[in-house]
A and B are shown apart, each in its own frame.
Chain A
Amino acid sequence: MSSYNGMELMICLASRYLEDDGTVVVGTGAPCAAAMLAQKTRAPKLMIMFEAGGVGPQLPSMPVSVGDSRTYYKGLVSTSMPEIMETCQRGMVDYTFLGGAQIDMYGNINSTHIGDYETPKVRFPGSGGANDLASLCWRTMMITPQDKNRFTNDINFITSPGYLTGKGAREEAGLPPGCGPYKIITNLAIMGFDEETCRMQVESIHPGVTRDQIIENTGFELLWADEVLESAPPSDLELEILRNEVDPRRYIIGRG
């Protein structure tokens, strides 16, 4: 078995959740790498979409922007942002991946600011398409390093909805029923959400990682699945394709 770094592990694990004939809206970076890897391994018929209008590209390399011309290179459609977002709103997009500065135990994400709104300590980009994708795609995933500052219930601003305040809260707020956060894939573990409480729950621990490490790197109390699995490490084939075809210049996997 080859050795691998945390980023490679996260990308390989994330790619396994994407399936043939599914649709996924991705951004740049690790999510795009995961989608490309899925397309080149177990899900050649995965339909990749980008929020600015690219549909079904045969990605020649990693896009730098979700609106650059790589996002529809040899694609099926080059359309518009409203078209992609309306496809999400119509319920035809299965998966999406989001990022953010903070995430709480219900999977709510902050990518807007730290501090107060008027004169924030740090201003981040804001929602971009994230709120729409988190509201409208069936299953939202996140690929992120795990630490106490990032995994916190002391979340500054809910930019994009997870389960909000718990079971039923999304529906109560008016969001389409039946969707929400699905998997959070970190350098330590894979977490899902408990059906009853909608709280984050550890489902699988990566090889060599301990429960204590996960607890130490989480700012809130985690739930644990009845049967916590050990994450299956990247296969030689996954690593080979990831390194040679998906990200040969190590733009993403070079970040460790």
Chain B
Amino acid sequence: MANQNVDYHVTGDQNVTYKKAGKRRLFTNPDADEAREFFHTKSRRMVDKTTTVKEAVAKYIKDGEYFAAGGFGSNRIPAAVLHEMVRQKKKNLGFSGHTSTHDMQILIAGNCLDRCDAAYIVGLEARGLSKVSRKGFESGQIESTEWSNATLAWRYKAAAMGLSFLPARSTLGTDTIEYSAAIEMPCPYTGKKYAAVPALYPDVAAIHVHRSDIFGNCQIQGIAISDLDLARAAKNLIITTEKIIHNEEIRQAPHSTVIPYYLVDAVIEVPYGAYPSNMAYEYFTDEDHLMEWLKAEKDEEEFKKFLDKNIYNCKDHWDYLEANGGLERLNQLRTQELLTDRR
């Protein structure tokens, strides 16, 4: 219980001045005023933003920029955008390796990345490690800076709040902070030690959602992971959506809008747009396809053929779906997701 007679303004040691910094590079500018200047100029016009994946990727994702993907690696990832980035041979991108698994695997297969904030990289959770992703880091080709999932999520959050950092209580005392770009700082009230994690304002992010109107008002079902903060942190935002719904539907359930239109630059209707990842209440992960991908990576020639089949010879996401069993396979994944084969 708070003591009503105590002034808690200054309770800690005010002479603490330590400032120990992680030694790796900070890839993005955390400055809140620089971000404000950008967001000041960002359009608030509620206009039709529908376009194609090809055009959105060409227009909003520039070589050398810093990119972040929504979802959780093998769940609700913007797969159509990622494949198009590979087809357009995007180069030297920075990447936020926040719970990244298959999303990163796609971009490294396309040789798109040269630096990465690494919270979770190269693995596909219980499925194993990606040989190609590992090579990207083991060869030194991709520069990395370490974080944890929470500190990287809070970096989005700091940006979403319009700040330049947030204090965090994890990573302290470990090599994870030593190889990060965080800075230890004392709490101005209690004197206790925090890890200051810098705001992350990605140049561009892509997020796949369940429903959006043509303006970019979005609804998501299931877990949000870090996408609500990411949508607000990113300077430009590409939305792919399972379906486009009428604005009237948005207005009937404003409590369901998790990303408002003024954050969004492009909207593309891409049914099954998260395939082969899991889309909550729509379709489950195509585990067979992910295992096939991991296996193909083991042989260079095999993998080249695999990428031709699944990315380079596909003009769009429809072709990719078709190359992997089309509607019949998708229907199986829907059955798996909804467990409708169970009584």
Chain A residues engaging chain B, CB cutoff 8 angstroms: 27-29, 51-54, 60, 64-69, 71-73, 78-82, 85, 88-89, 108, 112, 117-132, 135-136, 157-161, 164, 169-170, 172-176
Contact = CB atoms under 8 A, between A and B. Distances in A.
B179 A135 contact: no
A238 B97 CA distance: 39
Interface in B162-186: 168-176, 179, 184
Interface of B: 71-75, 97, 99, 101, 118-123, 125-127, 129, 134, 137-140, 146-151, 153-154, 157, 168-176, 179, 184, 192-195, 221-229, 278, 280-281, 284-285, 287, 337, 339, 342
A181 to B, nearest CB: 13
Contacts of A29: 126
A126 B122 CA distance: 9
Q: Which 4 A-B pairs have the closest CB atoms?
A: A173-B173, A174-B193, A67-B72, A53-B223
B122 A124 contact: yes
Given A67-B75, A125-B121, A80 B176 contact: no
Contacts, number: 200
Given A67-B99, A68-B74, A127-B149, A135 B126 contact: no
Given A52-B99, A112-B146, 9 more contacts: A27-B125, A28-B126, A67-B99, A78-B223, A85-B153, A119-B140, A121-B138, A126-B146, A131-B170
Contacts of A66: 72, 125
Given A82-B226, A128-B119, A174-B172, A69 B149 contact: no
Contact of A112 (B73, B173, B175): B175
Contacts of B71: 67
A159 B174 contact: yes
A205 B169 CA distance: 35
Residue among A82, A130, A174 facing the most chain B CB atoms (10 A cut-off): A174
Residue among A80, A159, A169 facing the most chain B CB atoms (10 A cut-off): A80
A81 B227 CA distance: 9
Contacts of B73: 65, 67
A77 B129 CA distance: 30
Contact of A127 (B72, B120, B168, B223): B120
